[in-house]
Amino acid sequence: MKTHETNLKLRSGKFSIEKHHYENIGLTERMVSVLLSGILMTRGIRRPLRAQFLYGAYLAYRGFTGRCFLYEKLGIDGNKPRAINIRGEFEIDRPAHEVYAYWRDLNNLPGSIKHLLNVEVIDESLSHWKSNVMGNLFSIDWDAEIIKDEPNRLIGWKSSPSSLISHVGRVKFTETADKSGTILKVVLSYHPPIGGVGIGLARLLNPYFESLLKKEIRSFKHTIENKVPIYANGTL
């Protein structure tokens, strides 16, 4: 009898299971998923087993739960913005003070960097840029502010908050051992838009951007080495 009562007490005990709800999609992307799911499911409501309706259902799941199985497989977390860094190092056969002076005059850059269409200098630190970095598909405009300027050594900038692609960058000018040339180090760091989708696209596009950076700096190198006269005091 005692054994039976003990079993009843054990069976009637209160248990709880702690559930961890893992979200890997940001709020903006969730809202877009819900919006697209409504469109797809409405169009495919008469054929619920067709791809259009099923895609819509999955997007609805993503939007309402904040979870994406594909992102889990790829190791992407759209809730945690990640900066994508692109680096390049080049040697230019011109003194560092001269390369710095040429770069610092932003009006020189559109003619030296092929995909840079225009730079409008607004004041000493603020400028407006236009580029067709995506080829002939469309051009991109943004405002940039120089946030660090160390003559003959370093230029650092950041894009305005309203830019399509938020980014920061810096270019460092270091003399070669014989002081006749320059080691140019360029670093671009940007946050992909559209949460996890942007991170995934950035991974696919990074090889393209790295290749593009090399081509652009080679173009800059060619221009300054072959078309820019050397001044004794380094001014242009």
Look at residue 27 in the predicted model and tell me its pLDDT.
65
Lowest mean pLDDT segment, chosen from 54-63, 91-100, 163-172: 54-63
Give the SS3 label for residue 7: helix
**Residues found in the chain:** 236
Q: Which residues contact 114 (CB under 8 A, 6 or more apart)?
A: 215, 216, 219
pLDDT: which is higher, 42 or 195: 42
Give me the helix-helix angle, 27-43 and 195-226, nearest 10°.
Answer: 110
Q: Which two tokens stand for residue 235?
A: 């001014």
Specify whether the CB–CB gap between 205 and 193 falls below 8 A.
no
pLDDT: which is higher, 156 or 193: 156
Residue 78 reports pLDDT greater than 70: no
Residue 90 reports pLDDT greater than 60: yes
Q: Name the percent of the chain lying above pLDDT 70.
A: 64
Residue 15 reports pLDDT greater than 50: no
**Rounded distance between C-alpha atoms, residue 200 and residue 190, angstroms:** 14
**Rounded distance between C-alpha atoms, residue 193 and residue 161, angstroms:** 12
Look at residue 82 in the predicted model and tell me its pLDDT.
63
**pLDDT tens-digit map of 123-156:** 989 999 888 765 555 677 889 999 999 999 999 9
CATH number (3.30.300.30, 3.50.40.10, 3.30.530.20, 2.170.190.11) of 84-226 reads: 3.30.530.20
Which segments of the chain belong to CATH 3.30.530.20? 84-226
CA-to-CA dists, residue 157 to 84, 104, 154, 160, 183, angstroms: 16, 11, 10, 10, 19
Lowest mean pLDDT segment, chosen from 62-76, 146-160, 161-175: 62-76
Specify whether the CB–CB gap between 165 and 78 falls below 8 A.
no
Side chain identity at 29, as an amino acid letter?
A: E
Quote the mean pLDDT of the chain: 75
